[in-house]
A and B are shown apart, each in its own frame.
Chain A
Amino acid sequence: MSSNSGKVTIMDLFDESELIEKSDGNFKTTCPSCGEDGNGYGGLVLFPETNTSYCHNSRKWFNLKETFALVKGIIQCIDGRGEK
C-alpha cells in the first residue's frame, strides 16, 4: 500500500477511486467522520506535500497520524486542530 519510496503518504490512507484531483494539485475526498462529500467545494482536502488534511465542514486540520485515526474512526473530525 505504501508509495514507491517505501514511505507512507497521506494518499496511501485512501482508495484511489475515492480521490478527486483539484486544480491546485491537491486532492479531495469525502470526510470519513462527518460525511461531507468532495463534490464541488467542501469535503476533506488532502495535501500530499505536507501530509496534512483539512475538513471543510469542521474547519479542522490533521497530520498523517491523525488522518489515519480519522479514517479508522478513532477520532471525529471536530476533534482536529484549530487555526492553522
Chain B
Amino acid sequence: MKEILDKEQNEETLKMFEDSFGKKAVEQLDEDVKKHYTKFLDIEEIENEEDICSSKQELNFDVITKIAENAEHLEGFKLMDRDLGLDGENYKALKKKNYYHLNSLRQDTQAYAINNKTIIDNRTNTLVIAEAGAGKSTLKNQHKRVMRDFEGYSGIIEVSGVSHPEQLVGKVIYSGRGDKKERVEKKGLLGYKGLLNDESQDMLNEKNDIYAKSQRLKRIGMDTFGKNEISKKLVDDSAEDIMSFYPEVRILDFAHPEKLTSRFFDTGSFRRYDSFRIDQTENLQLESITAFKFENEEYDKSWIEFLDDKYSKQTETKFNQETLTIISHYHKTMLYFLLNHKNMNAFRYGLLTRYSMRGMFCTNVLILGKSRHEEIVSADTTMQACADTILFILKTIETYNSLGNMGATADVWGGLGEQDAQALEYLYKKKAVSKESSGISVKKFQTILANLYGCKISQSRSHHYKLKRNGFIDSAQSGKYDSRVWLKFIPKEIKLNSQNYDPLKFLEKYFKGDSAKNTLLTALKSCFTDDKSFEKFKGDKGVGVLGCVLTPIYSNPKKYKYKYNIYTQGTGGNTVTPDTLEVKPQKQGVLRAEKQIKGDKTLKIRLSPLKKSKDDFYYPRDEQFLITKECENIKPVCTKIQVKKWIKENPKKNYKELYKTLGTGSLKFKNEILKEKKK
C-alpha cells in the first residue's frame, strides 16, 4: 500500500501515538491498517502493477529479419531501388515486398490448382502503415509509373479514403433504345489490376456498416483468383443481366498508425495482407541524411524498361514434387516457430493462418518463378521465395504486434468485445479459474474494467455484472472484508504435437560440401555473441527459421549475382554480397544480442571466467590491476611487509578489514603472499 506520510511524518506520528496511547497501541496500529483497508489496497496494487492486460512478450525477430532483408537474389532489385528513391534501414523489407508486388502487377494473372486443397494465384497484397512524410506518395508514384502504359481495367487506380461498396463493384448501364439497346458493364475499382487505397485505417477497422461492406468486398477481391466472383443484381435485372466478374486486383493499402481493432483480426482481413510499419529510424545520421550528390553509377536501362523486357513474353509456371516438399518444410518450420512462441500475437497469427500460410509461400514462389521464366520452379527459386516470405510474415507480425492485440479477439473469448476480453485475459493470466485459486477481489476487477473502459470504478460495475450474468465470471464474498472473482469460461488450450521435429535436418541436403549440418550451425552461431543467447534462440525454435533463411544464401552463393544487382544495404552501410555474408551477420547479431540480453551477465564474459574455458578468458585480479589503463596511476599505499604483519596479527579478520586498515594495494599483496605460501 502506498504511504502518504513520508519518513519523518511517520516517525513523528508514531511517537505521538505512543505518547498518547502506549506502546501496545502502536503495535496494533499496523495490524489494524492491514485488516481494514483492503479498499485502499486494491487501488494501490493496480497502480503499481505493470502488466495490466497489455503485457506483450518480446518478439525478437531481429536476427532473422536482418539476414532475410538481403536482396541479392532478386534480379533488377537495384534498378527498382533506384527508381523508387527511398533511403533508410526501415524500408528494406518493404522494398523487397514492393519488388514482388510490382512483378505481380506486370505478370498475367495465373491461377494454379496444385491439388484439390490448394489453389493459388500470383497476386499479392500489401498494407503499409506509416505516418505522414514516410514515403507513401513515393511508393504510389512508382506503382503508377510502372503501370502507366496500361490503361483501363488492366491499369492502376488510386482512391483516397473510404470507397463506397457500389464504387468497388461497378454497375451495368444500358445505352441506346429499343432494339439497339445495349448492355454495357462498367466495372468498379476492383476491376482494375492495381488498386492504391490511401487512408484506409477506418475501413480496415470497419468503423461502420459501409466501411464493413467495402472491406468485405475487398477481402473477396483479395481471395484466390477464380474462386472469388463478385456479383451484383439490381431488382429489375434478369438472370442474364447480373453483373459478375473475377477481380484480378492487387491491392496496396496505406494507413496511418492507428490501433488495429479486433474487427480487423476477427474478419480475417489480417490474413490477406503482408503488412509493414514504417517507423522513424532510431539513429538519425546527419551525414547520410544531408548527403547530396550526383549519381555516378550509370545503368543502360531503367526499372520500367527492365520490366518491359522481362514481361514482353509471359511464362506459365508449374511446381514439381521437390517444390512442394520444400514449401512444406518452410511451412512446418514457420508454424513450429510461431506456435511455440511466447508472444501472444505471434502465436495467434500462427494459429489463425496455419493453413493459409502455405498459400503465402506458394504465391511468392509462383511470382518469383514467373519472373525468372521457369516453367518448373527450381529448388533455389523456391527456397529464396520462401525465405522472402518468412521475412514478410515476420514483418507482418511485428506490425500487428505493435498496433493490435490478437490475443483478445472475439473468437478466443466467446464473442466478447475487446475490453471485456482483455479483462478476462487478465484473470486467466493470474490463474483465477476458481474461488480458491483466485487472488483478485471484486474491487480490483472493477478497477481493471474501469481502466480498460476508461470510466469510473462505480460505472464499471455494470460491465462486471454483465459478465457475471452472461456466465463468463463468478464472484463471491470471502470473509468479512474480502471478495474473489474468478473465470467460469476457460478458453481452449492448444497443444502442438510436433513429434520431436528437427527443423535443421531437412536443410542438410541443400548444402554443398562435407558436414553440411556443421556448416549451417557455424553460420547460425556466427549470428550470436555467445552461446547463451544462441541456446536461448534455439529454445525459442527460432534456429529452424534462421536456417531456412540462411540456406538459400549459403547453399548457392554466386549463382544469383546479377548485373544490376550489387546491393548496398541502406545509406552509409557496407556492401553485402554472399561472400561477405559470413561476416555481416556477426555485426547484426551483436546489435540484437545487446538489446535482447540487456543487463545480462554473459556480455561481461571476460570478467566472468567460470562461464568459459579458463585458458581463453581467465584474467587474474592482480594482472587486471596492473594491465588496466585506468589503474595505471593507482599506487599502493602500503608495503608487502606491512600486509604480512597484519595478516599474522589478525588471522581471523577478513579482507574487507584488511583493506580498511591498509588501503590501496593491500589486497594485491595479500594475494601474492597467499600464492607464495601455496608454492
Contacts and interface: CB of A to CB of B under 8 A. Distances in A.
Contact of B13 (A51, A52, A69): A69
Contacts of A8: 21, 25, 28-29, 32
A61 B40 contact: yes
Interface stretch (A14-22, A34-42, A76-84): A76-84
B39 interface: yes
Nearest to B20: A1
Contact of B9 (A7, A50, A75): A75
B655 interface: no
A52 B37 contact: yes
A7 B16 contact: no
B12 interface: yes
B32 A72 contact: no
Contact of B5 (A6, A51, A75, A84): A75
A63 B37 contact: yes
A50 B25 CA distance: 17
A83 B17 CA distance: 26
B50 to A, nearest CB: 20
A74 B9 contact: yes
A65 interface: yes
Interface in B26-40: 28-29, 32-33, 36-37, 39-40
Interface residues of B, number: 22
Contact of B36 (A12, A50, A84): A50
B4 A66 contact: yes
A16 B479 CA distance: 32
Given A2-B21, A51-B36, A79 B13 contact: no
Given A63-B40, A68-B17, A75 B4 contact: yes
Contacts of B39: 50, 84
Contact of B12 (A6, A51, A74): A74
Contacts of A74: 5, 9, 12-13, 16
B457 interface: yes
Interface string B450-465: 0000000100000000
B49 to A, nearest CB: 17
B37 A50 contact: yes
A83 B40 contact: no
Nearest to A6: B24
A2 B37 CA distance: 21
A1 B37 CA distance: 23
Nearest to B21: A8
Contacts of A81: 4, 40
A63 B32 CA distance: 9
Nearest to B40: A81
A64 interface: yes
Contact of A72 (B4, B16, B24): B16
B455 to A, nearest CB: 13
Contacts of B566: none
B16 A65 contact: no
A58 B321 CA distance: 78
A68 B26 CA distance: 12
A74 B15 CA distance: 12
B43 interface: yes
Contacts of A6: 24
Contacts of B16: 68, 72, 74
B638 to A, nearest CB: 52
Given A2-B25, A52-B37, A83-B43, A64 B5 contact: no
A1 B5 CA distance: 24
Contacts of B36: 50-52, 63-64
A53 to B, nearest CB: 12
A80 B4 contact: yes
A7 B28 contact: yes
Contact of A65 (B29, B40, B457): B29
A60 B25 CA distance: 25
Contacts of B13: 65, 68-69, 72, 74
A7 B27 CA distance: 10
Contacts of B25: 2, 7-8
Interface string B63-82: 00000000000000000000
A50 B9 CA distance: 23
Interface string B615-633: 0000000000000000000
B21 A1 contact: yes
B32 A64 contact: yes
Given A52-B36, A83-B43, A65 B5 contact: yes
Contacts of B21: 1-2, 8, 12
A44 B186 CA distance: 76
A25 B167 CA distance: 69
B514 to A, nearest CB: 71
Contact of A79 (B4, B12, B32): B4
Interface in B1-24: 4-5, 9, 12-14, 16-17, 20-21, 24
Nearest to B33: A63
Contacts of B33: 63-65
A31 to B, nearest CB: 16
Contacts of B28: 7-8
Given A50-B36, A51-B36, A69 B9 contact: yes
Smallest CB-CB A-B distances: 6 pairs = A69-B13, A50-B36, A8-B25, A8-B21, A74-B9, A63-B33
Given A6-B24, A68-B17, A74-B13, 10 more contacts: A1-B20, A2-B25, A7-B32, A8-B32, A63-B36, A65-B13, A66-B5, A69-B13, A72-B16, A75-B4
25 contacts: A7-B25, A7-B32, A8-B21, A8-B25, A8-B28, A52-B36, A52-B37, A61-B40, A63-B37, A63-B40, A64-B29, A64-B32, A65-B5, A65-B17, A65-B29, A66-B5, A69-B5, A72-B13, A74-B5, A74-B13, A75-B4, A75-B5, A75-B9, A84-B40, A84-B43
